[in-house]
Structure 1
Amino acid sequence: MSTYGLGSVFSPQSVAVIGASPRERSVGRIVLRNLREADFTGPLGVVNPRHREIDGIATAASIGALGWVPELVLVTTPAAMVPRVVADAAAAGVRAAVVITAGLGQGPGSLAEELAHAARPSGLRVIGPNCLGVMSPHARLNASFAAHPAAAGDLALVSQSGAIAVGMVEWGLARSVGFSAVVSMGDALDVDFGDLLDHFALDQRTRAILLYVESIRNARKFMSAARAAARAKPVVVVKSGRHAAGARAAATHTGALAGSDAVYDAAFRRAGLLRVHSLDELFAAAETLRHVRGTPGRRLGVLTNGGGVGVLAVDTLSDLGGTVATLSDQTIARLDDVLPGTWSRANPVDIVGDADGARYTAALEAMLADPGTDAVLTMNVPTALSSASEAADAVVDVLGRRRGRAAEKPVFAVWLGKEQDAIDTLDAANVPTYATEAEAVRGFMYLVRNQEAQDALKETPPSLPEDFAPDTAAAQAVIAEAVAAGSEWLDPLQVARLFAAYDIPITPVVYAADAEAAANAAEALLARGQAVVVKILSPDIQHKSDVDGVRLGLVSAEAVRDAAAGILQRAREARPDARIDGVTVQPMVVRQKARELICGIADDATFGPVIVFGRGGTAVEVIDDKSLALPPLDLRLAHELIGRTRVSRILKAYRDVPAADTDAVALVLVKLAQLAADLPQVGELDINPLLADRDGVVAVDARVRIAPTVPLHKGPGHPRFAVRPYPKEWERAIALADGREVFVRPVRPEDEALFRAFFTHVTSEDLRLRFFSAVRHFSHEFIARLTQLDYARAIALVMIEPETGEMLGAVRLLADADFDRGEYGILVRSDLKGQGIGWRLMRLMIEYAHWLGLRVVEGQVLRENRTMIAMCRQLGFQVRPDPDDTTLVRVVLPIGPLPPGS
C-alpha cells in the first residue's frame, strides 16, 4: 500500500500503548515513559486488563474501553497475544500499529502470518514486529524503547537493525545531529524499505535519507522507490554481510563472479544511491549532508597552516578519485601579495604555521574566487604561534560575506587538537567539521558521488542502432527445443543459433560424433589454410579445461583425428558419469592484439538477471576484474559498466596496440540485456573469451543454461527483472474519431527534444491547468522528470503523428508500490483540442491500469477545468471535493477485471 497510512505512524493525533506494564525495565514501561518524556501532545492511552493504572495513567481493559479510537497503537504484549490485539485494533478503526514484540516466527502457520491476516483487510499499517520502534522528533513522538530520544533535524534513518538505529541516535546526540524520523523496521511484515522511501521522498522535513540494509525482499519495489527517492534527495546506504559467498554454486564464470554483495552494489548504483561501507562512513556522510546541499564539481582546494596534513589530504583525494584543484595564475599572484614568501605557491595552499586570522581570510577568499576550485577544505594545526579560535572566526566571517559563484562552493573544516570553541563556532555557521583530513575528504567525495548519481539518473541515453532487431521468435524456438528435450544446457550449435538471433558474433561450430567425423568436418577449414580447434561436447562438462578437453592450432586432418580421439578418451576416463556426445570443430581464431574479455548473464536470487563484464580467460575468477549492472541497459550504461573495470584501461591504445572497438563491446552487453529481457528462461550465459580489437568482437566460447522461470515480482511484465524494461508491447497504431491513424508508444528517455517541441504548442493557461501553477521555463531537469520513467510503476503514453513525427499529446499513470492505486495526468496540444485525442489517451490509460491490475485510478483536477471534469464523468470517474484544497476536485475510477478478449 506504499505510503498509505504512514502519516499515522509519524504524525499521529493520538496514541495508545497496548501491553504497558508497571514492571521496572519492561519494554512496555520504557515505551510508555519515552512517550511521556517526549511530551507527545495528543491523547495518550494505556491498555492493560490486569492493572488499573500504570505510572499514574488510568488503564483500559481493551481498546474499545478507552472511549476513543487511537490513530496509532504500540504493541508490547507477549507474542501469542499480538494477532488478537491487532485484530481488535483494526476492528476499532486504528490506522497503524508499531509491533515491538519479538518471537512471532515467519511463514505459514506462524503468529506473524496471523498478524498479517488481522491487519490487511482493514488497511491497518504495521511497523515490525521485532523492532525498536519509531521516533518522529518533530511530532514529539518517541514510540521506542531506546535509551535516549533523537534530536529534531532533517535526516531520516531507516534501519533493519534496532541496534544500528540506537547507535545512530547516540552518535547524533553527541554531534548535535538531528533526525526527521528514525524507523526500526524489524521483520518488516508490512511496511518495508519501498514504502518508507516513498514516504520520506515526499516528506518536506527530510533533506536526506540514511538506510541500513541487511537484505532486500522485494527488489522491484525497492528499486522503483529508491530511484524515485534518489531523484528528490540524497539517499545513503550501508549494507552488512558484504563478504557472503553467494556465488559458490554457480556453474559459469559469470555466475561465480556475480557475488551477492556485488549485485547489491550494482543495484544501489543503478538506483542512484550513495553506498558507504561502514558506520563510520555513514556517520561522515550524515555529517556532510547535515550541512551541505551539493557541490558543483570534484575539484577540491586545500587550505592549511600545516603542510604535512595538506599533503595527506590531497593523497586521500587522489585515492578516492577526486581532483586536486589547480590554482590559476591570477590566484597565485593574489596570494603572493598577502602571504609570506614561504607559502607553498600551489594546492594545497600552506599558509605556514604562524598564520593568523587575516592570513586565513585572504587565502580563503582567493581560493573561493578561483574558477578552477569547486570546494575548499580548510584545516588548522594547533601551534604556539597562532590561535585556532581566531582562524575559525576568520573562516566564518568570510563565509558570511561571500556572494555569487563563491557562495555556491562548500567549505569543509578540520581543526586538529582540542579546540572545542573553534569547532563550535564552525558548526554554528553550518560548516561541516571532521576529526581528520581523511574523513573530510571522504565527506567531500560523498557529495561528488551523490551528484554524479543524480546526473546519471537525469542523463539522456543514446539510441540503439536502428538496424538492431533481434529475431526473438528464432531465439524462443531454440529455448523451446531445449526445454522439450529436457536439457539444462544449450549445446554449441543451439548457442550459435541463439547468438545469431541477437547478431552476436561467434566462431562457427560444427558437430562431430567421433574422431573420424571431426577430421572430415575440419577438411573445409584446413583447405582454406585455417588452423582448427577441437573441444569436448558434453552437457555434463561445462568447464572443458577441467578434463583437458580442448586442443588448439591443429593444421592437418590427422592432427584433428588424433586430438579428437584423445579428448574423447580423457573425458571418459576423467568423467565416467558424464554424457559424452562427441566433439565440436571450429576455426582457430587468431587475433594477435585482441583482448580477452568475459561477459554474460548471471542470476541473483533477489535481483534476478545481472549483466557481468570483465577480464576473461581461464584465470577469470583469480583475476576477479569484473563489474555488474542490472538490465535493461542502454549504450551509456554499457560504457559505464566497461569503465568500472581495470581491463577497460587496456582496451585503449598502448604502445603498438590499437584501441579496441569499445562500441562493439558495449553493443554486445546491450544485446545480452535484451536477450535476458526476451528470454526469462535463460538462467546463466557465459561468453569467455570475447575477443575484442580494433576490428570488432567475436565470441570464441559460450555457454547458456536454461532454468524454470520463478517469478520474483507480482504484476505483468518480465517476471524477474528488478528494473522493468521499456514496455514495447504498448506500441500501437490507433484511429482517431475522424479516421486518422496515429502512433502511440511509451515515452523513452531520449524523448526530451520531442517534449520540448510539444510544449511550444501548449498555451500557458493549459500548462497551468495541467501543473496547477505557471510554467515558464522548461529546464532539462523538468523534462527529465517527464521522460526518465521507472516503468515498474509509471507509464507515459505519447501520441505521435506518423508523417510529421510531432507529438500530439501524452497521458501518464503512476502506480503506488503495491499496484493498488494509480494517479493519472494528461496534456494535449492546445491547437488540437476537440479532435478526440484526450479521449483516446484516457481510454488507453485505463486499459493500462487494467493490465497492471490496479484497483483504483484517481487524479486531481482544478475545479475550473470543466472540460476535464466532464470527460472524467463520461469515462465513469466519480467526482468528489478534495478534502485538502477547495480549488481542486478528486476524480476516482474503480478498476474492475479486464473484459474478456481485451
Structure 2
Amino acid sequence: MSVTNLEYLFKPTSVAVIGATNDPQNAGNIVMRNVMAGGFMGPVMPVSATAEAIAGVLTYPSVKHLPKAPDLAVVCSPLDEVPEIIHSLKERGTRGVVLMGAGFASMSEEERQDVKSTILSVARPPEIRIIGPKSLGFMVPSLNLNASLAHAAVGPGKVAFISQSDSLFATVLDWAIDKGVGFSHMIALGSRIDVTFADILDYLGSDPLTRSIMLYVESIKNAREFMSAARAASRNKPVLVIRPGQALDTVLADLKLKETGDQRLEDEVYDVAFRRAGMLRVEDIDGLFDAAQTLGTPKAVFGRKLAILTNGTSAGILAADRLLAGGGKLAPLSEETVKSIDAVLGEENWSRANPVDIPFNADGKAYSEVLKLLVKDRGSNGILVMHVPWTAQPDTEIAEGLRDSLKRVKRMVLTAWLGSGAAEKSRDVFRAADIPTYETPTQAVQAFLYMAEYLRNQEMLIETPDSLPSDFFPDTARAREVVNKALSDGRKTLTEPEAKDILAAYGIPVVETRIAVSAKEAVIAADKLGYPVALKLRSPQIPQPFDVGGVLLDLETPERVWEGAASILARCTRERPDAYIEGFTVQKMGRRPGAHELSVSASVDSVFGPVIHFGHGGMAREMIQDQALTLPPLSMSLAKELVNRTRISTLLKGSRSHLPTDIDDICLTLIQISQLIVDVPQIRSIDINPLYADSEGVLALGGKIGIAPFSGHGETRLAIRPYPRELEECVVLRSGRQVTLRPIRPEDEETHRVFLASLSDEDLRLRFFGVVPRDFGHKDIARFTQIDYDREMAFIATAPDERGEPETLGVMRTNTRPDNTEAEFAIVVRSDMKGEGLGSMLFHKGIRYTRERGTKVLTGQTMVENKAMQGLSRKFGFVITPAPHDDDLVDMTLDMEKAEN
C-alpha cells in the first residue's frame, strides 16, 4: 500500500503512448486520439516502429529515442513485449505506466502469474507504478487528460470514480455525460498487479480536487490494506461503493475466477466491511450519483425525520410511502409551525400535517414563506421540496426564488422538480447553486435515506465504546494447551468437553460435559455430574444427532441413562448403519426456564479473515435464518450494534411476561469469542448453539471448535488490526511512581479529555503551534483516541490517581505514511510531570516501535522557541534544521537505521 509516485500517473507533465498505430481499431490509436482530443497541455510522444505520424504527431521508433523521459507511459503493446518496454522506461526515468495491451484475460492462471512476476521484477514498484494489465485507462479532466480507451470524455467535477469493471466504467461514463456530471478522476484499475483500491483511496483521500469517492468493487485482494485505506479516506470525505452482491458471488464461484479464488464469496461480509469502514453502499448507478450529490454538500443529516413540502397530493404520498418503507420517519410539525403556515396560506388551503400539501397553483412567494417556517422547525432532520408542473405557474421563477431563500440556510434541503422541459431548467438552477435536486420523489427520498445511513456509519466509526468489564482475564495459556494437544494428535476438531474447556478459559459460562465411550461410562459420568442429565450421540458422520433420535433430555436416574444409551445405539444402527459410533456426550441439564436460545459462531472468510456470527439459535436456527455478522476486533458498542441487527433483538428487550435479557453479558460473550480467535489463531471455527440468555446472563449448552495448524501472529488474520496488547509495558518514574505505557484505546476518550484540559495554555500552544480552544468536542477526541493501529500509534502514559482512578500523564504519537517510508511524531507531557523522565520514556518507546516496524525516517516539527523539545530530540539523534517555508518552525529528522536501541 503506497502513494509513492502516483503523482506521475495522475499529475503527469508529459505522456508517451507506446505501441501507437494508425489502425483505428487498435488501442494504440484510440488512446492517442483521446489524449490529443482532450487538450493535454504537456508533450505527447507516440512510440511506433511502423508509422511516421499518428493523430498529427510525429512518432519515435523506440523509448530510447524519446526526447525526454515521460512521466506517464500508456503501453498498448502486447503483454509479451511489456517487460522489455518497462525496462527501457525505467532507464529513462519514467515513474507511471498504464498497461492496456490485450491478452491477459485469455491466459491461464500459470501464465498470468509468470507475466505478473516478470513485470513486477522489472518495474519494482513503487519505483514504477503500474495500472493494469487489462485496463481501460483513466481520465483526469482538470488536466484535460484522457489516457483511456473510452468512447467519450467528461468534464471536470468533484467526484472520483474507481472501477474494477471495464463495462461499468463505460456505463458510468455515458450516465455522467447524459446527466452533465463531471469528475475529478475516472480510473479503471484492470487486473491490479500493482495499484489497488487501497492505493487510490489513500491518494484521493487527500486530493483537494476530490470531494467524494465512488467505487465499483467486485473483489478485494488484501482486506487489511483496503480496510485501513477506506477508513482513513472516509474520515476525510464521503466514500460510496457499489457491489453486485449475491449474483456476483454465484458467478464467481461457478466460474472459479482466478482473481478471487475458488471459494464462494459472502456478500454479507463485504457489506459489513463497507459499513465498518464508514463507507456507504448503494444499490445501483442512479443511487451512486444521487448519494454522491447529496453527500457532497456541506449540510449534514443527523436522523431520519423528513419534512415534505409539495403542491401535489399524490407526489407527497409517494414520497412519504418511500420514506416509511426505507426506515425513515415523517417529521412532526410543531403547533407553532402549523399556526404560522395557517397565517400564510389559510387553514383550509393546506394539509395541516406532514406532507405539507399546499395549493397546486402556489407561487414562488408561498413556497418560500412556507419553506422558511419549515426550516425553523427543529423537529425535522431535512426538508424535501417538490413541485408538480402546472401550466399557469412559472417553474423556473419558483426555483430561482427558492434558491435565493436558501442561500444562508444551514439545514439540508433537497428538491424534486417533476417533469421535463421547464422542470429540467429548474433543476439546472438548483445544480448551479449546489442544492441537491432530483427528477422523482423516490430518488429524492432515497438520497435522504442514504445520507442518514452514511452519517450513522460515520458515527459508528467514531462512537465511544463502553468500557469492558475489568475482570475479564482469559486463560490464554490453557486454551492454547488444549488446541496444541489436539493438533499433535492429528485432529481437526475438538471434543465437546475440550471446546467447553476453552470457552470456560475465556470466561464464557458453560454446562459441564463429559465424554463416554459406552453405556457404562455414560452412567458413571452422569453420577459424577449429578442428575438430571442430557445424553447425546457422538459420531463424525452424524453432525446433528437430533436428526436420528440421538439426543435424550432430562434423564433422572442411572437406569434411564443406561436404557437411553441402548435405545440411541439401536436407532442409529437401524437408520445409519454406515456411521461410526464414538460414544456419547453426557451433559448436566442447563435449567434456564424462559431463556432465549441464541447462537454465537466464528468462521474464517477467504478475503476478510475471521468473521463473527450472532443470531437465533437452537434446532430451528437454519430454518429461521436470523443471523448477523461482523468483523473482529469488537468493542461493547460494536457488539451491541451486531445484536441489534437481528430480529431476535426485539425479544431480548423483554415484555410484560419476560424480564429484559442481559444484553451486556451477550456482548461480552461476543468480545470474548473475538479475543479468542485472535489469541489462538489455530482455531478455524467456533459454534456455540444454543447459547441460553436471560436476565441472569448467558450459558453455553453446545460448543464445537474446528482447528488447523497456523504459524504467525493471530492478529495478521484480521482485516482490522486489533488493539496491540503486546506493546504494553510498565515503567518507574524518578519519583518511584509506577506508570503503564500502552497504546491508546477508544475507551480512553474521557480520560484523554481530562488530560487535554489539564495541559497549560503554553503546553497547548507549543503542541498545536498556536492558540487552540480548550473545549475539544467528541469528534476531536475520537480522532485522538480511535486510531488505525496499522498506520497510527499513540502511546499514553497512564497511572492511578489518588482515588485509584486512571489518569493520562503524557502521550507520544506517530503517524506513518501508507508505504511505511516515513512517520511523523508529536509528544506532549503534563506540566506537573516534567522532570520525571516521562518524556524520554515515551520518546524512546515511540522510536523503538517505529524502528521495529521498518519505518525508514521519523520526522517532526516544533516551534523555534521550544528548546526543550529540540534538546530531547537531539538526545535521541535527531538532526535539527530550519523549516523551509516557516521561520517560526524547525524540522527534526531521524534516520531510523542510525537510531539507538
Instruction: Give the TM-score taking structure 2 as reference length.
Output: 0.92
Question: Does structure 2 conserve the Cα–Cα contact (< 8 Å) formed by 1:295 and 1:410?
Answer: no
Give the alignment partner of residue 306 of structure 1, picking from 301, 305, 312.
Answer: 312
Deviations 1:802-834, CA, capped at 9 Å, x for gaps: 555443321122333344443322223345445
* 1:417 Cα offset (Å): 4.7
* 1:14 Cα offset (Å): 1.9
Task: Give the 3-state SS of the residue equivalent to 1:750 in structure 2.
Answer: helix
Q: Compared with structure 1, are the counterparts of its residues 515 and 831 closer, same or farther at alpha carbon in structure 2 (3 Å cutoff)?
A: closer
Task: Give the 3-state SS of the residue equivalent to 2:851 in structure 1.
Answer: helix
Counterpart position of 1:661: 662
* 1:329 Cα offset (Å): 0.3
Distance in 2, matches of 1:707 and 1:247, equals: 24
Counterpart position of 1:273: 279
Distance in 2, matches of 1:768 and 1:38, equals: 49
Counterpart position of 2:414: 411
Counterpart position of 1:797: 795
Counterpart position of 2:258: none
Counterpart position of 1:373: 380
Q: Which moved more, 1:189-198 or 1:882-891?
A: 882-891
Distance in 2, matches of 1:158 and 1:800, equals: 44
Q: Quick check: 1:500 aligned with 2:504?
A: yes
Question: Does structure 1 conserve the Cα–Cα contact (< 8 Å) formed by 2:882 and 2:891?
Answer: yes
Give the alignment partner of residue 783 of structure 1, picking from 781, 797, 815.
Answer: 781
Task: Give the 3-state SS of the residue equivalent to 2:601 in structure 1.
Answer: strand
Task: Give the 3-state SS of the residue equivalent to 1:337 in structure 2.
Answer: helix
Counterpart position of 2:396: 389
Distance in 2, matches of 1:683 and 1:48, equals: 55
Counterpart position of 1:179: 183
* 1:328 Cα offset (Å): 0.1
Task: Give the 3-state SS of the residue equivalent to 1:200 in structure 2.
Answer: helix
Q: Quick check: 1:23 aligned with 2:23?
A: yes
Alignment of 1:511-530 (within 5 A): 511-523=515-527, 530=531
Q: AA paired with 1:130?
A: K
Give the alignment partner of residue 749 of structure 1, picking from 729, 746, 749.
Answer: 746
Alignment of 1:41-190 (within 5 A): 41-104=41-104, 110-120=114-124, 123-190=127-194
Distance in 2, matches of 1:535 and 1:27, equals: 67
Distance in 2, matches of 1:56 and 1:176, equals: 30
Question: Does structure 1 conserve the Cα–Cα contact (< 8 Å) formed by 2:463 and 2:637?
Answer: no
Q: AA paired with 2:363?
A: D
Task: Give the 3-state SS of the residue equivalent to 2:406 in structure 1.
Answer: helix
Q: Which moved more, 1:469-478 or 1:737-746?
A: 737-746
Q: AA paired with 1:510?
A: R
Counterpart position of 2:270: 264
Q: AA paired with 2:359?
A: V
Q: Which moved more, 1:505-514 or 1:572-581?
A: 572-581
* 1:47 Cα offset (Å): 2.0
Distance in 2, matches of 1:794 and 1:432, equals: 36
Deviations 1:313-345, CA, capped at 9 Å, x for gaps: 112111212121000000011111222404211
Q: Compared with structure 1, are the counterparts of its residues 700 and 205 closer, same or farther at alpha carbon in structure 2 (3 Å cutoff)?
A: same
Counterpart position of 1:839: 840
Deviations 1:276-319, CA, capped at 9 Å, x for gaps: 12223213212323445422332100011111221221121112
* 1:748 Cα offset (Å): 0.9
Q: AA paired with 2:242?
A: V
Gaps of 5+ in 2: 255-262
Question: Does structure 1 conserve the Cα–Cα contact (< 8 Å) formed by 2:482 and 2:502?
Answer: yes
Distance in 2, matches of 1:318 and 1:722, equals: 35
Q: AA paired with 1:14?
A: S
* 1:161 Cα offset (Å): 1.3
Q: Compared with structure 1, are the counterparts of its residues 197 and 30 closer, same or farther at alpha carbon in structure 2 (3 Å cutoff)?
A: same
Q: Compared with structure 1, are the counterparts of its residues 85 and 572 closer, same or farther at alpha carbon in structure 2 (3 Å cutoff)?
A: farther
Deviations 1:212-267, CA, capped at 9 Å, x for gaps: 1010111111111111111111111111243425999xxxxxxxx99711111111
Task: Give the 3-state SS of the residue equivalent to 2:87 in structure 1.
Answer: helix
Alignment of 1:348-367 (within 5 A): 348-367=355-374
Larger relative contact order (C-alpha < 8 A, sep ≥ 6)?
A: 1
Gaps of 5+ in 1: 249-256
* 1:76 Cα offset (Å): 1.2
Q: Compared with structure 1, are the counterparts of its residues 89 and 870 closer, same or farther at alpha carbon in structure 2 (3 Å cutoff)?
A: farther
Aligned residues: 881
Task: Give the 3-state SS of the residue equivalent to 1:534 in structure 2.
Answer: strand
Percent of counterpart pairs with the same letter? 42
Counterpart position of 2:537: 536
Counterpart position of 2:10: 10
Task: Give the 3-state SS of the residue equivalent to 1:407 in structure 2.
Answer: coil
Q: AA paired with 2:27?
A: V
Counterpart position of 2:685: 684
Deviations 1:36-82, CA, capped at 9 Å, x for gaps: 22221222222223333222222223333222222221111111111
Q: Which moved more, 1:236-245 or 1:626-635?
A: 236-245
* 1:752 Cα offset (Å): 2.2
Distance in 2, matches of 1:879 and 1:193, equals: 37
Deviations 1:630-650, CA, capped at 9 Å, x for gaps: 111111111110001111111
Counterpart position of 1:727: 724
Distance in 1, matches of 2:734 and 2:298, equals: 55
Alignment of 1:227-306 (within 5 A): 227-243=231-247, 244=249, 260-291=266-297, 293-306=299-312
Question: Does structure 1 conserve the Cα–Cα contact (< 8 Å) formed by 2:2 and 2:126?
Answer: no
Q: Which moved more, 1:551-560 or 1:596-605?
A: 551-560
Q: Which moved more, 1:36-45 or 1:472-481?
A: 36-45
Distance in 2, matches of 1:331 and 1:315, equals: 23
* 1:709 Cα offset (Å): 2.6
Distance in 1, matches of 2:384 and 2:552, equals: 60
Q: Compared with structure 1, are the counterparts of its residues 549 and 734 closer, same or farther at alpha carbon in structure 2 (3 Å cutoff)?
A: same
Counterpart position of 2:513: 509
Alignment of 1:588-627 (within 5 A): 588-627=589-628
Distance in 1, matches of 2:889 and 2:129, equals: 28
Question: Does structure 2 conserve the Cα–Cα contact (< 8 Å) formed by 1:292 and 1:410?
Answer: no
* 1:518 Cα offset (Å): 1.9
Counterpart position of 2:648: 647
Question: Does structure 2 conserve the Cα–Cα contact (< 8 Å) formed by 1:632 and 1:724?
Answer: yes
Counterpart position of 1:251: none
Counterpart position of 2:487: 483
Distance in 2, matches of 1:512 and 1:833, equals: 65
Q: Which moved more, 1:299-308 or 1:551-560?
A: 551-560
Distance in 2, matches of 1:879 and 1:182, equals: 42
* 1:761 Cα offset (Å): 4.4
Q: AA paired with 2:202?
A: D
* 1:687 Cα offset (Å): 1.0
Deviations 1:424-482, CA, capped at 9 Å, x for gaps: 22222322222221111110011111111111112211111111111111111111121
Counterpart position of 1:470: 474
Counterpart position of 1:252: none
* 1:788 Cα offset (Å): 0.6
* 1:792 Cα offset (Å): 2.2
Q: Quick check: 1:695 aligned with 2:696?
A: yes
Counterpart position of 2:434: 430
Q: AA paired with 2:36?
A: R
Counterpart position of 1:254: none
Task: Give the 3-state SS of the residue equivalent to 1:148 in structure 2.
Answer: coil
Instruction: Give the TM-score taking structure 1 as reference length.
Output: 0.92
Question: Does structure 1 conserve the Cα–Cα contact (< 8 Å) formed by 2:416 and 2:440?
Answer: no
Q: AA paired with 2:157?
A: G
Distance in 1, matches of 2:87 and 2:800, equals: 57
Counterpart position of 1:317: 323
Q: Compared with structure 1, are the counterparts of its residues 869 and 114 closer, same or farther at alpha carbon in structure 2 (3 Å cutoff)?
A: farther
Q: AA paired with 1:488?
A: K
Alignment of 1:868-879 (within 5 A): 868-878=869-879
Q: Which moved more, 1:332-341 or 1:649-658?
A: 649-658
* 1:583 Cα offset (Å): 0.4
Counterpart position of 1:812: 813
